[in-house]
Structure 1
């Protein structure tokens, strides 16, 4: 069998699988290419996926010693939906907060909320009380399901905001409303009766941007569904593009490992939501531990690993240390940050049976975007990949919004039904980012003659620490709250394991003298631990400025890096 073009592979797959048929449709006044035969909402997806999950009998969800078949998982979703509706009055358009580490309850509350036509609001489990307060107010959330640490951080906010906090797992003893007690009182239920439209909102996920406050990314059912089925199509066209890798033996059932936080799209979308129609089993880790991941991969016969690049490196080292070959892995993907080019060959050498892959996407695109794997990635380890077909369009724009010539560097700009509806309560930021259906990503890149995209820089002031996006202005805002700091500038520092960490330079006010550790301790009360600068340079003079009188971030970064010991 001879390899064919990407366009021909897509055409063949659509003929063989009419569920991927597309047509044009108008959404919020803009014409997009959309799937016409797929499920239209997340609740439809849950119901439609039952066939792929052995008509509900398949072993679906694993969390430690706990297991659910697919039918058991869906039955629990229905029970939680009934609790939300009957006890808390949640209905279409109502928002439910989720603040916890990875656990089955997170998925149950998520799916139960959206099955009612409600909106799941994901609260970052690493946020401080101060950061949680911003999101709770921004999303106007009044009902939140939380585990122990998150519930303790939310408690100071409860009285003033009229919050109802439901304890999950280790938080059940901290509140009179515990998840397991609620479930015991609701032994069974049917799917809720709600008229959900594909373009209704289903989730709000917070993403650090160029502003000091995180932005609530409003996602729709249609956006998530189109991302899921674009990835599903990609799995079908891969063997057509690389027929030499096709095995005559039946493929094992896919088994995915959830190793990244479920409050980010990397875990919720291309792992959890994709697992449903893919007929995959899902194994959930409550937190990352490379040695534990090796054991789970062996015990549960995991085939698909997707995490930030640091996790791939950790897994590689753990497998070598434990003498594990991890033969069941057939896919090792990276998202959230760029994988170091040298790591691509290392992973391929250690796990030759697995396709090493990379992907680029955003919370604003429901994680849909660009990707590649296998030989394409091995030969282009510095690239991000090709645009996933068939509903996306791609442009590269200059500062004035005009297309740059092919091969030149421009801002990566994508149009698809996967794109967010808006930034919550931020019309100006929405208008600057979404223009006639095109989403300006803030990433600068170029495309070659074969359609492979390379990201060369960031237009926006973002630090990516192990897959976590950190707005420089967020860090600077916290630094400015310290009484000794006159002005501050944050920037990325290279890090061997995490890719980047936060660095900062501050001008101290006259008469003030303070230690770096004291500033770091102060910051931990105001911003999440991963945002706290690992190195802070201090000086009495004003920070250097450029021609526009703005702080010269790049020049200051270079000067501070030059002062670091070799």
Structure 2
């Protein structure tokens, strides 16, 4: 019987389709794939032979790969010629998962520009902070985000042009997206551009422990390594491989995309599915009933999302009559999957659908550890084994490798791992090619990784990272608040839910609803605590004065106060 290890060994041997070689990159010896694509530009150019296959579907709109090619090439020429976007320039994208997100991303990769995805759930002030940090020359935004951006002095932030997508009333001095497609239909070749694998391709913002978003600078090497590591899991071993032939791809499939493209998992979906020749089916926003309808209508084979997405999808399937027999794979990522959900997937589909999960971060360019099918069902407490080219270690506080079975900080090394944050924040997180994740875990004798917790003060709600310090700073700015602690509480479908304990100053009176409204005016809706306990006594602290969050609920007897969500203003 051929095992998955045997299959990977056959694919990665020297004369196979995914040969592995040792390379010194940035002074660090790494194992890398010695094959194309080596850049995201090359990944797009490889789609030229996919013809009339469906590439992107959104509601009643459809683009074949030929039509996507023409759109992207025309857009690249317009961005360069009309808006002056040059190689190395930063261009921000702020919108829902519209098809234009995909086309803009690829056009910028053809130009060697750096894509800066902006979280579409942020408020104007939060968007302004990211623009000030990244300094993009152009921002491409949908109508909702454009309205927020126009509250800012974008010119003072270095933005030369705003481009409006799906905006019925385009303001003066804003470029309509449609105007950039004036040459669509012309016989255009992709703009010439020489790109190195170590050139920057993206800047994705991630929360750290300081409360300030940090820009993870992703190179073409990071993304191409991640792309190849995804497709190697689903390609067959060819009887004979011709290195001069067409690229080896998985069998065509249809993926319902639920991760937002501003998330590393969403971007990873974008380029991996396109390079593989799959069909991407987009949604305006997550709706489980609509998802079930699309699975039936589009013959969806793959669906992945945070555990709460999968749970609500299962609810819709079990309560409805949709034919979802085309579905083959259900992936769960973004936060830990509860054990009962794995069993539920198996039971709902009677073993016909393979569940899968993994582990990765923005800094590791999406998943670097994976597990699925019967392997996961047999090891439901694991997130899998490292993918090819990926090394995993468990470190103690001094950075020394721990023995098998011991719990410590997870460190990752490989060509997918970024080398630094844009402005050099947290240099201790990057040592000799290793990224110290701030997550805790252990490795067993067979190399399977299990997660044990987090060292960073981050709450993961439905796959979205929330920096506790950022929310604490916001609540602390309220004149009535004297002390505050923000932390996560377990939630059946979201994984974690944000909670806060607030101590008011003497003589002040304010309720949870008022505090929620205060945060909602300043931060994105997903950062508003769902549960708030207002207390009159001091919060428990260590001898050094640090609030002890792990004990706060029990020490202050707050289980009743935090048992149910406070009324939300979202």
Q: Show CA shifts across 1:191-211 (max 9, x none).
A: 111111001000111112212
Q: Verify the 8 A CA contact 1:335 1:359 in the aligned structure 2.
A: yes
Tell me the residue number matched to 1:78: 73
C-alpha deviation, 1:317, in angstroms = 0.6
1:168 maps to 2:147: no
Q: Which residue of 2 aligns with 1:516?
A: 512
- Are 2:288 and 1:284 equivalent residues in the alignment? no
Q: What is the count of residue pairs matched by the alignment? A: 547
- CA distances 1:408-449 after superposition (whole Å, capped 9, x unpaired): 101111100101132121x241x1211110011111111112
Contact residue 344 and residue 356 of structure 1 kept, 8 A = yes
Task: Name the counterpart of 1:247.
Answer: none
2:559 to 552, 559, 562: 562
**Structure 2 residue aligned with 1:545:** 541
Q: Give the TM-score, by structure 1 length.
A: 0.93
> Does the C-alpha gap of structure 1 residues 12 and 479 become closer, same or farther in structure 2, counting only changes over 3 Å?
same
Structure 2 regions of 5+ residues with no counterpart?
Answer: 240-249, 565-570
**Corresponding residue of 1:484:** 480
3-state secondary structure, aligned to 1:170: coil
Question: In the alignment, which residue of structure 2 is the partner of 1:348?
Answer: 346
Whether contact under 8 Å (2:136, 2:158) holds in the other structure is no
How do residues 362-377 of structure 1 correspond to structure 2 at under 5 angstroms?
362-377=361-376
Match of 2:321 in 1: 323
1:544 is displaced (CA, Å) by 1.2
Match of 2:436? 440
Q: 1:459 & 1:237 partners in 2: Cα distance?
A: 39
Aligned to 1:360: 359
Q: TM-score, normalised by structure 2?
A: 0.92
Q: Which residue of 1 aligns with 2:451?
A: 455
Q: Whole-Å Cα distance in 2 between the matches of residues 185 and 34 of structure 1?
A: 39
SS in structure 2 of the partner of residue 156 of structure 1: coil
Does 1:209 find its partner at 2:204?
Answer: no
Equivalent position SS for 1:327: coil
**1:306-317 paired onto structure 2 within 5 Å:** 306-317=304-315
Whether contact under 8 Å (1:217, 1:422) holds in the other structure is yes
Shift of 1:557: 3.8
Partner of 2:18: 20
> The residue matched to 2:522 in structure 1 has which SS?
coil
Deviation at 1:364, TM superposition (A): 0.6
Aligned to 1:20, what secondary structure does the other structure show?
Answer: coil
Judge conservation of contact 2:305–2:333 (CA < 8 Å) in 1.
yes
Farther off after superposition, 512-521 or 185-194: 185-194
Deviation at residue 182 of structure 1 after TM alignment? 2.4
Distance in structure 2 (CA, Å) of the matches to 1:418 and 1:557: 39
Tell me which moved more, 130-139 or 172-181. Answer: 172-181
Offset at residue 325 of structure 1 (A)? 4.4
Summarize the alignment of residues 354-503 of structure 1 with structure 2, pairs less than 5 Å apart: 354-389=353-388, 391-425=389-423, 427-429=424-426, 431-503=427-499
Would you say the 8 A contact 1:489–1:553 is kept in 2? yes
Cα distance change on mapping 1:274 and 1:560 into 2, 3 Å: farther
What CA distance in whole angstroms lies between the structure 2 residues aligned with 1:500 and 1:89? Answer: 44
CA distance in 2, matches of 1:516, 1:127: 22
- For residue 422 of structure 1, give the secondary structure of its aligned residue in structure 2: coil
1:557 and 1:113 mapped to 2: Cα distance? 48
CA distance in 1, matches of 2:372, 2:503: 46
Distance 1:9 1:514, change over 3 A: same
Q: For residues 87 and 560 of structure 1, what CA distance do their matches in structure 2 show?
A: 62
State the alpha-carbon separation in 2 of the partners of residues 547 and 393 from structure 1: 38
Q: How do 1:94-109 residues align onto structure 2 when only pairs under 5 Å count? A: 94-109=89-104
Q: Map residues 244-263 of structure 1 onto 2, 5 A cutoff.
A: 253-263=252-262
CA RMSD of aligned residues (A): 2.0
Question: Who is 1:144 aligned against?
Answer: 139
Q: Distance in 1 between matches of 2:125 and 2:491?
A: 28
Q: Deviations over 1:217-255 (max 9, x none)?
A: 110111111011111111237999xxxxxxxxxx96311
Residue equivalent to 2:52 = 57
The structure-2 alpha-carbon separation of the partners of 1:232 and 1:252, relative to structure 1 and needing over 3 Å to count, comes to closer
Does structure 1 residue 113 correspond to structure 2 residue 108? Answer: yes
Question: Does the aligned pair in 2 maintain the 1:537–1:560 contact within 8 Å?
Answer: no
Indicate how the Cα distance of structure 1 residues 238 and 408 shifts in structure 2: closer, same or farther if over 3 A, else same.
Answer: farther
- Quickly say closer, same or farther: Cα 1:5–1:495, change in 2 above 3 A: closer
SS of the residue corresponding to residue 403 of structure 1 reads coil
Cα offset, 1:50, TM superposition: 3.4
Q: Separation in 1 of the partners of 2:42 and 2:130?
A: 29
Tell me, in whole angstroms, the C-alpha distance in 2 between the residues paired with 1:64 and 1:118: 30
Deviation at 1:10, TM superposition (A): 1.6
Deviation at 1:24, TM superposition (A): 1.4
| Superposition deviation, residue 546 in structure 1 | 1.5
Is 2:217 aligned against 1:221? no
Q: Which runs of 4+ in 1 moved over 6 A?
A: 237-240
- In 2, Cα distance between the equivalents of 1:362 and 1:397? 18
CA contact 2:207–2:465 (8 Å) conserved in 1: yes
- Aligned partners of 1:64, 1:432: CA distance in 2, in Å? 46
Relative to structure 1, is the Cα distance of residues 238 and 516 closer, same or farther in structure 2, using a 3 angstrom cutoff? farther
Query: Which structure has the highest helix share of the two?
Result: 1
Q: 1:169 to 1:95 in 2, by over 3 A?
A: same
What is the distance in 2 between the residues matched to 1:296 and 1:116?
34
2:527 to 515, 525, 531: 531
Aligned to 1:248: none
Tell me the SS of whatever aligns to 2:93.
strand
Distance 1:221 1:162, change over 3 A: closer
Structure 1 stretch 540-549 or stretch 445-454: which is displaced more? 540-549
* Whole-angstrom CA distance in 2 between matches of 1:159 and 1:137: 11
- The structure-2 alpha-carbon separation of the partners of 1:546 and 1:108, relative to structure 1 and needing over 3 Å to count, comes to same
- In the alignment, is the contact (CA less than 8 A) between 1:397 and 1:412 conserved in 2? yes
Question: Is 1:57–1:69's contact at 8 Å kept on the other side of the alignment?
Answer: yes
Cα distance, 1:153 vs structure 2? 0.7
Q: Assess if the C-alpha contact under 8 Å between 2:70 and 2:184 holds in 1.
A: no
Is the Cα contact below 8 Å between 1:146 and 1:171 reproduced in 2?
no
Which shows bigger deviation, 505-514 or 524-533? 505-514
Equivalent-residue separation in structure 2 for 1:102 and 1:561 (angstroms): 40
